Each structure stands twice: as structure tokens, then as C-alpha cells.
Amino acid sequence: MSERPPSGTGTTADDSFQAWASHGQPADPVASILLVDDRPANLLALEAALAPLGHRIVTAASGEAALRCISSEDFAVVLLDVHMPIMDGFETAALIKEQKRSRHTPIIFLTAQDDSNDVVANAYRNGGVDFLTKPLNLDAVRSKVTVFVDLFVLSGRVERQRYFLQALLESLQTAIVACDADGNVTTYNGAVREFFGLPKRPVPPERWSEHYCLYEADGTTALAPSAAPLARALAGEHIQAIAMVIAPHTGRARTVLVTGQPITDAAGGKLGAVVSMHDITARRAAEQAAAESFTELLRSNKELEQFAYVASHDLQEPLRMVSSYTQLLARRYKGKLDADADEFIAFAVDGVVRMQRLINDLLAYARIGSDGGEITPVDSGAALDKAIANLSAVIRDNNAAISRTVMPVVPADPAQLAQLFQNLLSNALKFRREEPPKIAISAELTDARWHFTVRDSGIGIEPTYFDRIFVIFQRLHTRDKYAGTGIGLSICKKIVERHRGAIWLESEVGAGSTFHFALPAGDQR
């Protein structure tokens, strides 16, 4: 046995890697040609004829040598002489075809011109794909060898791509099943085996139904074969649905997102179908837990609102009694006791008055969620008018100037929208500078929301406190300087949130503040 390197530069392992990296696919397999003839002159002539093709050439001078070559590597084609001593070409061909590795290797018999038709027929019976008669036409030899080498390279590409795709399928956690046009399962990956407890070796198509069983999303009703995703996809349906897989070997149930579609050729002919199943058990459990948490949060908030409402409401009566008696004490005994007593009584009266205001504001805050009115189309200009009318005395006393743009109709609770404007205007009037306050209200439609602004010329707020001012009971100033309970802006925030909007602030100390709130615009047609 001898071996000749192909002519030309050849291909190295490094080159193959570069080809993979640059083209995204394995390099083509190296094509080897086996020449078998007991006459050295014939082998040299064949080598010389095939060398220009640039392929690797291996020679063997006997059938035994040929079998040793075949057992160690794959060949694109074998050129085999019929007449050889000890083991002729037919015997050699029969033994080549018995080996698993070479049973599909094409064999071209080389025979004498005067061989009978029986010899030619015997060549085909022994696995030959073609025969050439001596003396050989070298152009014909090169042509036939080129055909089988090209086929070998192409088959290698297909096989490598098949392995590549199979490795890709096996790496996926999504279960993938494919069937042919007759509904026979042809491909499935490791995730399918894990889902259904299938063995690693392929399951025969006729036994697939023993394993491939899906249930409705609730896990109680098994899908009939005709309703199974693979059958529906094969019938031309594009599927996306939730189902449940129950593995027969473990009883483990999991929820899966099933997608399926038919596979067709360029002309629309049916080739088969493919179905994928992605395990969404954890996601569904998380969604269910989130939904339960949200429901519990709603219930808890409702209970807190109810508690705040009941507590503040029930405190009104005893507080009115305390207020009545402390005021009675103040009127009846003022000046009749010593100065300390008068001061103590004044403190008690002031505390009761502040407590009444606090409870009233807390009651108003609690009522936003529990006693809110229906959301209907509301003229925000009318709501602003109501707020200005309620504050008319304070506006007049402060000589305040209020300007406004055209106000839109928005989906809102009329009373709460008026309260929102009133609280923001009251805030602007309270935190004023020495000169008369100036307040400007505007509205602009932006991204399907009405963006309102209430801009004042007041004392302004440090940026550090922008978030704090919307928290209930938070105050930035002492009571002796600015009266109030610290709930007004908290009420504004709760009203805006109930309307699925947002509220925020821009301000500069000494230059005034601008309160922004945005509400959904609703149907603008």
C-alpha cells in the first residue's frame, strides 16, 4: 500500500478552522481515492491521470491491502481491477460491502475490453456503480471520478450540517418534534425525551403515540390525537397555545407554551410539520403568585382605607365633645384663674382645633379611594372654576392674580378634580412671597395624556424635598409659620393615581414652583 499527497498547497487543520470561523460551517471533508490493481504500471498510470484533480490518492496492490485501507478511513470512490490473483475484484468488492464503514462507498470496476456481459453483470451484483474497460480512456476516468468525489464532498457537507443541527437541537431547553408528511415522527431533541421520558434511541413512529400525550392547560383532559399540536400543524394550522405535559415515567406535570406550523416546499407542497414546547411552569407560577399578591395588596389597601375612614369618622363625636367643653372652659373661666390656667386652656383649645382639622383631612384622604365618584368626561375648566370659587376669599385677601389657558374635557371624578385644583391653588396661595402671588394654569395634549401645570411665584422648594412633600403628614415648615396638617399634597397624589396619572414638581428656591400632573386623555375623536 502506498499513498501520494494531492498536488497543490493542500489544506491544514488551521485552514479548516478558519473556514469554519469565517463561513459559519465545517470545512469540506478531504476526498480520498483508492486505486486497487495488482500491476504497478496500471497504478502509476491511474495516479498520473488523477493527480491533476488535486485529491488524496491511496494505492493498494491486492484485495487484502484494499480491505486494510477501507477499514481505517472513508473513500470518495474505489477504482477496483477485476482480475487479480488470490482475491479477485468481485470478492474484494463483496467484502468491502460487508463492512459497515464502506457499505455505501461507490466502486468502479476496471475490466478488460473482451470481458463478457456476464462479467459486467457480476460486477453490478457485487456492488459496482460503474465499470471502465481497458485500455482506459483517462478523460473518462477523470470525469467519472470527479462526479463521485463531488458527491462525497456534498454528502459530507450535508452530514456535518445534520450533526451540527442535531447538536443545536440537543442544546435547546425547548422541546422540538418534527414529523414527515405522513405524520411519522422523524426528529425530536433531548428536551422531548426529558419531557416525555423517551429512551435515547429513536422511538419507532408506530409507538410514538404511547409517549406523546398532551393535556389541556388545566391538566384534566388529554388531547385526542387529531387535536394534538403535531396533527393540527400537519393539517396546515399555525398554533400557539398553552398545554400541559405529564411525563408517564415520573408523573411530573409541567405547563408548556406550544407553537406549531406546517413545513412546505417552495411550491407549497406538504413536507411535514414541526412543534415546539417551551416549559413555562415557573413563569406561570410566578404570574399566579404575583396575581395573588396583587389581589392581597388590593384587599389590604381596601381594609386600610376602611380603617382610616371608620377611625377618623368615629373620632369626630368624642372630639366634638372635648372641643365643646374646652371652649366652654375658655369662655367661662378666662381671666378668673391665674395666667397659667388661661395659657393651659388656650393650649387645649388649639390642640383640639388642630386635631379636628387633622381628622377631617385624614377622612378626606381615606374617602378618595372608598367614596370616589364615577369617572366620566369632565370639563376641567368647570372644575377649576369651582376651586377658584371655593378660594375666592383667600384669593381676594392676597390680591392674587390667576391666569389660565383653555381647559380640556378629561375622564375624571368631577369632585376630586376640583379638589385637586383647589389643593394646588391653596398651596400656591399659602407659600407666597411678600408681593401678591401670581398663578398660571395651563393644559397641553402630549402622547395621549393631558399635561396640566400650576405655576406660582412663591417661595419655592429645595430639590431635596421634591419627593417628601407628597408623603402624608410630611411638613417642611413649622405650624407657627404656615398652618396646615401636611395632607394636602398627599391628597393630590392619591387623586392623580386613582385617575391612572402622574404628578411631579419643578421648583427653584425664591423663584416659585410648578406642579405638573398628567391624566389620560380618553377618546379624543
Say yes or no: 269 and 390 in one domain: no
The answer to whether residue 321 sits within a structural domain is: yes
Of the candidates 168, 190, 221, which is a domain's last residue?
Answer: 168
Q: How many domains does the chain divide into? A: 4
Q: Among all chains, which residue has been given the C-alpha cell 400650576? A: 454
Say yes or no: 212 and 153 in one domain: no
* CA proximity to 229, closest of 221, 242, 239: 239
CA 216 from centroid of its chain's CA atoms: 23
The answer to whether residue 337 sits within a structural domain is: yes
- Cell numbers describing residue 26: 465545517
The pLDDT assigned to 306 comes to: 67
The answer to whether residue 327 sits within a structural domain is: yes
Percent of the chain with pLDDT over 90: 19
The answer to whether residue 135 sits within a structural domain is: yes
The pLDDT assigned to 453 comes to: 93
The pLDDT assigned to 331 comes to: 77
Say yes or no: 346 and 442 in one domain: no
Helices (H) and strands (E) in the chain, counts: 14, 19
Say yes or no: 182 and 271 in one domain: yes
Q: Torsion angle, CA of 333/481/453/436, rounded to 10 degrees? A: 100
Say yes or no: 42 and 135 in one domain: yes
The pLDDT assigned to 160 comes to: 82
The C-alpha atoms of residue 8 and residue 365 are separated, in whole angstroms, by: 90
The C-alpha atoms of residue 121 and residue 221 are separated, in whole angstroms, by: 62
The answer to whether residue 234 sits within a structural domain is: yes
The answer to whether residue 525 sits within a structural domain is: no
Of the candidates 344, 369, 394, which is a domain's last residue?
Answer: 369
Say yes or no: 348 and 482 in one domain: no
* CA proximity to 105, closest of 148, 134, 144: 148
Say yes or no: 354 and 405 in one domain: no
Say yes or no: 116 and 204 in one domain: no
Say yes or no: 390 and 513 in one domain: yes
The answer to whether residue 451 sits within a structural domain is: yes
Say yes or no: 151 and 294 in one domain: no
Of the candidates 369, 388, 403, which is a domain's last residue?
Answer: 369
The pLDDT assigned to 157 comes to: 84
Q: What is the mean pLDDT of each run of 10 residues along the chain (525 residues)?
A: 40 40 54 91 90 90 92 90 88 88 87 66 77 84 90 85 81 84 82 73 56 63 65 86 73 82 88 88 85 79 65 66 76 76 76 70 65 84 93 91 93 90 90 88 91 91 76 53 65 89 88 91 62
Say yes or no: 291 and 433 in one domain: no
Say yes or no: 164 and 31 in one domain: yes
123: left (phi > 0), else alpha (psi -120 to 50), else beta?
A: alpha
The pLDDT assigned to 450 comes to: 94
Alpha helices in 35-88 (DSSP H): 40-50, 63-72
* CATH number of the domain residue 17 falls in: 3.40.50.2300
Alpha helices in 371-445 (DSSP H): 380-390, 392-397, 414-430
pLDDT in tens, 352-408: 776 766 666 666 666 676 566 788 999 999 999 999 999 999 999 999 999 999 999
The answer to whether residue 315 sits within a structural domain is: yes
* CATH number of the domain residue 468 falls in: 3.30.565.10
Structural domain for 269, as ranges = 172-279
